[in-house]
């Protein structure tokens, strides 16, 4: 049976796996948005903050599914 983490202990503080996945998803989104801004590709988006939220949700889902089974 595959081990599913119920919580992560970081410094004695218990954190749910979805919180860790969402933090990593937002960090990945920030890196992607910085790359898009540096290459001036964000000017092609109608609403860049909405793209940021959509990327954060997509990255959180991918990280939660592939790396941290939520």
Q: Where are the domains of the chain?
A: 14-66
pTM recorded for the entire structure: 0.84
58 to each of 7, 8, 37, 38, how far by Cα in Å?
Answer: 22, 22, 19, 21
pLDDT in the model for residue 7: 82
Tell me how far CA of residue 26 lies from CA of 2, 3, 22, 43, in angstroms. Answer: 27, 25, 6, 21
How confident is the prediction along the chain (70 residues), in pLDDT tens digits per residue? 566 667 888 888 888 989 999 999 999 999 999 999 999 999 999 999 999 999 999 999 999 999 886 5
Half-sphere exposure at residue 63, Cβ-oriented, CA atoms within 13 angstroms: 19
């Amino acid at each position: 049976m595959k081990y599913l983490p119920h919580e992560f202990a970081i410094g004695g503080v218990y954190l749910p796996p979805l919180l860790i996945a969402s933090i990593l998803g937002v960090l990945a989104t920030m890196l992607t948005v910085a790359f898009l801004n540096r290459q001036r590709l964000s000017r092609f988006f109608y609403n860049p903050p909405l793209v940021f939220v959509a990327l954060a949700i997509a990255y959180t889902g991918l990280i939660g599914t592939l790396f941290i089974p939520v």
